Structure 1
Amino acid sequence: MAFPQPKPEAPQLPQHLHRTIDCKQGAVRAVRFNADGNYLLTCGSDKSLKLWSVKGEALLKSYSGHGYEVLDADSSYDNSQICSCSSDKTVILWDVGTGQVTRKLRGHAGKVNCVQFNEEATVILSGSIDGTVRCWDTRSRRFEPIQVLDEARDGVSSLKVVQHELLTGSVDGRVRRYDLRMGQLHVDYIGSPITCVCFSQDGQCTLSSSLDSTVRLLDKSTGEMLGEYTGHKMKGYKLDCCLSSKDTHVLSCSEDGHVYCWDLVEGSLSLKLAVGKAVVQSLSFHPTETCLLTAMEGKVQSSEAPSMCGGDSP
């Protein structure tokens, strides 16, 4: 006699506001989990970068060295280094333990919007309003980039690198995917200025948000539109979008003080998470757990699934 299989549990969403951190660094321009989700980085309009413990919400270290507001940051896979970028046109490589500047990289002609390490943290990739992506060797003492990608016709607003693939979004309305191993470039035309791009966890799709208040899911290899997600407001700010850790939901910041969360397959709105009365500037989803970080004005909020609340989970 065959017993019926138990129904799989519906994926949980981060709908319970768990903690609020007053970062005390002006407006928080970006909030980012580190690789394992135990720490978070906040980028401030007061020129500072801060490292926090997720569980204890304790401030671990502040990093000062930029000449203007910090716009993005990334942590290396082993948590020993941080890279950050700023409106001061520079990219800085930091030693996490000492808080000292290891390298200050100059070469961009305008503010640097986005920055990320490659998987081994041997290369930093930075995207700028000057329309270029620059690749910097973290081990070399040379101050010139090892490669400059200048195909964008307007500012580069967002980039993500996974293994040998680089995804960029530009104000020219195009999502570009570089196969760095094969030396190939694939372009998808969206038509509205792109604010954020990312890969799906399974590596088969790309997600992009743009200033026509639409988030789009595309098949990576064919460029076919798989889904459009609307309802939020994104008209004048560079706001983040992302996928949940298991690729079940699409999430986006909004100018109306909410985070919108859609079912990836159905396209229906699953959750409208109230964060506050201002623009939700940035968000970051935990790499393995149902936990979402959001940045609004000078505060970062952590939201979790109801089953996680009250425990010690980050």
Structure 2
Amino acid sequence: MRLKRFLLRYFPPGIILEYEQAGNFRTKSIDLLDLTPQTNLDELVSEIMQSEPLITESRAEQVKELVFRLQQKLAQQDHHRFCFSKELKAYILPLTNVAFDKSGSRFITGSYDRTCRVWDTASGTELHTLEGHKNVVYAVAFNNPYGDKIATGSFDKTCKLWCAETGKCFHTFRGHVAEIVCLAFNPQSTLVATGSMDATAKLWDVESGEEVATLTGHTAEVLSLCFNTVGSQLLTGSFDHTIVIWDVASKRRIHTLIGHTGEISNVQFNWDCSLIVSGSMDKTCKLWEAASGKCVATLGGHTEEVLDACFDLSGQLVATASADGTAQVFSAATHQCLARLTGHDGEISKICFSPQGNRVLTASSDKTARLWDAQSGECLQVLKGHTDEVFSCVFNYEGSTIITGSKDNTCRIWY
């Protein structure tokens, strides 16, 4: 094995190694999820060298410099206030979902008008209209980090795969017998997973367009799904109150996570694939051990349904959003509630962390999105201007741009 070069990953902190093995180029990552501006550089570099044979003594100074750059990025104080930039009014019917590509230079919107549109973030101009679905386009995704393909899932029971550069349709995935409501690319961009109201999830081959597997066992709609960071496992969350962990290679069920007493609203792995978070209509969020499928904590405190739940990128914090109009931030390690976010006048349907993990963004039926301090729970900014429910909010990779999507048929860009 011969090390070729290093790449930095700012969020979450890590160093990617590109190396050559038997004539093939490969990559592996050194995750530095516990890195802080106070971490002792010499001790950390020594630990890295002990655990990673590709990094020899001659590379020590180079690694030290890279870790120092990651520390500098973490130490940057984020006092950024977002300013409204543009409103995009291309639709005559409500939007459904919004997603950025990895660079943040483009984003996509799905709509009740049966199309998906590709936008240039900086100018707000429409690059492509992806037409062909015969019903609502509900789920949309880029194949990040590559960003050269787009998947769209529709109430017409099909998923389509598109070229992000030209807008050409590569494949139409047919096989579900009810609406497709969630989808995801695996990290390698070789598979698309779709979840449907028909109580199944399916895996599709990106290259050939063929169905690879039908994952059966749920007894109600599959409303949420998520690949782990390495793409070896898939989570499905269902209205049957359960979550299933699937092995992608064998297409077999590994664990069924039982404990919720209401429909599952969202499921997600943390970065190192050790934990799973689930939000439920039973007013709770649960943390599960991915390896054993055991429930390790039930995070309460909400008086109405939990509509969304997520980890920050490092996997150290959990955020929950509820129909009771509040959100909460918990420690993933201690399960303690660190902050309660109060101020919205309506249910909160979406929540996400900034890439840095120090800010939380919420979208509410009160026609606003809000930006919060993740540690103190202080509301830092109210993003106003929409004239109907805000159901989608998302940061770009750098955390410098926000898109909000609303039932008022518009989305807004904030810098």
Q: TM-score, normalised by structure 2?
A: 0.62
Q: What per-residue deviation string (whole Å, max 9, x for no partner) do you get for residues 44-65 of structure 1?
A: 33434455677x6946555444
- Could you tell me which residue of structure 2 aligns to residue 47 of structure 1? 157
Q: Are 1:231 and 2:343 an aligned pair?
A: yes
Q: Are 1:36 and 2:145 an aligned pair?
A: yes
Q: Are 1:222 and 2:334 an aligned pair?
A: yes
- Could you tell me which residue of structure 1 aligns to residue 261 of structure 2? 153
Q: Aligned-pair RMSD on alpha carbons?
A: 3.3
**Whole-angstrom CA distance in 1 between matches of 2:110 and 2:166:** 10
- Could you tell me which residue of structure 1 aligns to residue 317 of structure 2? 205
Q: Are 1:190 and 2:301 an aligned pair?
A: yes
Q: Are 1:277 and 2:387 an aligned pair?
A: yes
Q: Secondary structure at the match of 2:390?
A: coil
Q: 2:400 aligns with which of 290, 294, 306?
A: 290
Change (3 A) 1:256 1:18: same
Change (3 A) 1:293 1:47: farther
Aligned residues with identical type, % of pairs: 24
**Whole-angstrom CA distance in 2 between matches of 1:83 and 1:9:** 35
**Whole-angstrom CA distance in 2 between matches of 1:45 and 1:102:** 21
Higher gyration radius (CA): 2
Q: Which amino acid aligns with 2:280?
A: S
- Matched-pair contact (CA < 8 Å) for 1:240–1:253: yes
Structure 2 unaligned blocks of 5 or more: 1-74, 91-108, 115-134
- Matched-pair contact (CA < 8 Å) for 2:388–2:408: no
Q: What per-residue deviation string (whole Å, max 9, x for no partner) do you get for residues 244-286 of structure 1?
A: 1112321122123432222334433333335743433334433
1:56-75 aligned within 5 A: 58=167, 61=170, 63-75=173-185
**Whole-angstrom CA distance in 1 between matches of 2:260 and 2:413:** 36
**Whole-angstrom CA distance in 1 between matches of 2:384 and 2:204:** 34
1:3-152 aligned within 5 A: 8=77, 10-11=79-80, 13=82, 15-17=84-86, 21=109, 23=111, 24-25=113-114, 26-32=135-141, 34-36=143-145, 38=147, 41-50=151-160, 58=167, 61=170, 63-140=173-250, 145-152=253-260
Q: Secondary structure at the match of 2:213?
A: strand
Per-residue deviation, 1:294: 4.3
Structure 1 unaligned blocks of 5 or more: 1-5, 306-314
Per-residue deviation, 1:103: 1.5
Which is helix-richer, 1 or 2?
2
Number of aligned pairs? Answer: 295
Q: Which has the higher contact order (CA 8 A, sep 6+)?
A: 1
Change (3 A) 1:290 1:187: same
Q: What per-residue deviation string (whole Å, max 9, x for no partner) do you get for residues 153-175 of structure 1?
A: 22111111121211111111221
- Matched-pair contact (CA < 8 Å) for 2:389–2:408: no
- Could you tell me which residue of structure 2 aligns to residue 310 of structure 1? none
Q: Which amino acid aligns with 1:92?
A: K
